[in-house]
Chain A
Amino acid sequence: MLIFYNKYKKWVYTLVAITLMYLLILFLKIDLGLLFSDVHYVTDLLNEMFPPNFKILWENNVVYISILQTIAMAYLGTLMGGIIAFVFSLIASNNIFNYKYFAVSAKWLLSFIRVLPSLIIVLIFVVAVGPGSFAGVLTIIISTIGTLGKLFTESLENLDPTSANSLKSIGANKIQIFKHAIWPEFLPSFISNLLYCFDINMRTAVGLGIFGGGGIGYKLYLAMRVLHYKDAIALIICIIILLLIIENFSNYLRHKILSK
């Protein structure tokens, strides 16, 4: 019987869940009372944040350059990361190059890259090239290689082998098979995944701002650090609108590609 219907199981599970939560709260030493007693800090904060100071958006060019910077970070990261990921995925997928040894090691490498938290990667790059958007771009490139590497490998391995096989039987060489059978079928998912990754990378680019990544994320962090809440809210609203536009744009293009 499903938990939902059995009287006893339902209550037992609920009780266990509540107990678990309570234990976690105790372990973390969270003072629930603060939620209510300190609410006035939240309202105070909200008061300080409104009305938002939209003037900084055009006061000097700084903000609008940082928006372009953030977009540039995501763009370069996706482009370069995508190309490298594509090469990796060709090696890593079972059906393209057929060097099993390399395929397996490439897959492991991709997994390893994906596991590295971006925090660590950005630290390494900040040490290497200094804080700023360059470090951000490099970080995004690496994380893109991880994500797109996996996605591309999956779509390459899921391709329908019939057209490739028929070309092979006619005697076409690897390059021709690739150009005429594999590439056209792969193209839609390739572009779709790129767009998807671009969307994610935009959010990462904003988030990395705190860790010296640069772009508008950094401006926002600065504003909060110096308690210029009105500026911060204006920047947040700006970020929200920017990300919403990119998300909708990306979804729209992906829909069009999928339906073609």
Chain B
Amino acid sequence: MIKKAFPIFFLLLTIMVTYYAMILTDFKLNTLKKGLHDSYFFIEQMFPPSWEDFKDLWNPALETVALALLGTFLGTILSLIIAFFGASNLTNKWVKQIVRSLISVERSIPELFILLILIAAYGLGALSAVLALMIGCIGMLGKLFADAIEETPVSVIESLKAAGASKVQIIYFGILPDLFPKLISYSLFRFEINIRLSVLLGAIGAGGIGYELDYAFSMLQFHRALSCLIVVLVLVIAIEQISLYIRKKLSISQL
């Protein structure tokens, strides 16, 4: 009888929890219904986008891409180095455990807050943004790279070790070549994420399209804001397609 009651019990529990959560977050469908009118009106106000503004959004767009590019590139190198210390086939148990935990901790810190801390130290600007993106990569890439390194067949490492190769040589000649396609693939994936983050961080003052968007909103220049939004959308879609294309080519050709 208990077995039969279990699903019902579970369902009741879910309903109760959901109800409580809705109270906690002020979830009222009525508010939403009324609010959607306001949103619609608001969005309507933003149309049409101001076409003249597009030409001076070109530079901020490039800035956003540059930030993401630099951040991803440096972040990949940093994460790779850290990943070597987090791979069980390259270091002893304690080091690996500590490094992996640090990587997990980094993953739990939202990039926005890393930026806020960096801004408190280095002020608003590109330096803080690049550093924030770079450090933000560690959580994801550090784990992915370390896992991939651990997938290297044991015999590759052992045979090089038996031939007398030093650890650096084993990494460079034995592990990195086979790791390379995954390296590029994961980095591209992170690059997509970093473009979105770059826009987000820009809104807090780092520069680029995000900054323009935030500025336009606060200056109530809604048409300009829509233009910014369109640029953001185009940017994100374009980068995603390019990244997808490269990653597909990578998995087919080089294997």
Contact = CB atoms under 8 A, between A and B. Distances in A.
Interface of A: 2, 4, 17, 20-21, 24-25, 27-32, 34-35, 38, 41-42, 44-45, 65, 68-69, 71-73, 75-76, 79, 115-117, 119-120, 123-125, 127-130, 132-134, 136-138, 203, 206-207, 210, 214, 217, 220-221, 224, 229, 236, 239-240, 242-244, 247
Nearest to A72: B21
B25 interface: yes
B1 to A, nearest CB: 24
B18 to A, nearest CB: 6
Contacts of B121: 38, 41-42, 44-45
A24 B66 contact: yes
Interface string B98-113: 0000001101111111
Given A127-B42, A133-B26, A207 B66 contact: no
Given A117-B236, A207-B112, A240-B105, A134 B26 contact: yes
A137 B27 contact: yes
A24 B69 contact: yes
Nearest to B207: A28
Give 3 nearest A-B pairs by CB, closest first: A128-B35, A243-B108, A72-B21
Given A38-B122, A127-B39, A75 B21 contact: yes
20 contacts: A28-B70, A28-B130, A29-B126, A30-B125, A30-B130, A73-B25, A115-B233, A120-B229, A120-B232, A128-B38, A129-B32, A132-B26, A134-B28, A134-B32, A137-B25, A206-B110, A207-B112, A224-B120, A243-B108, A244-B105
A231 B38 CA distance: 36
B247 interface: no
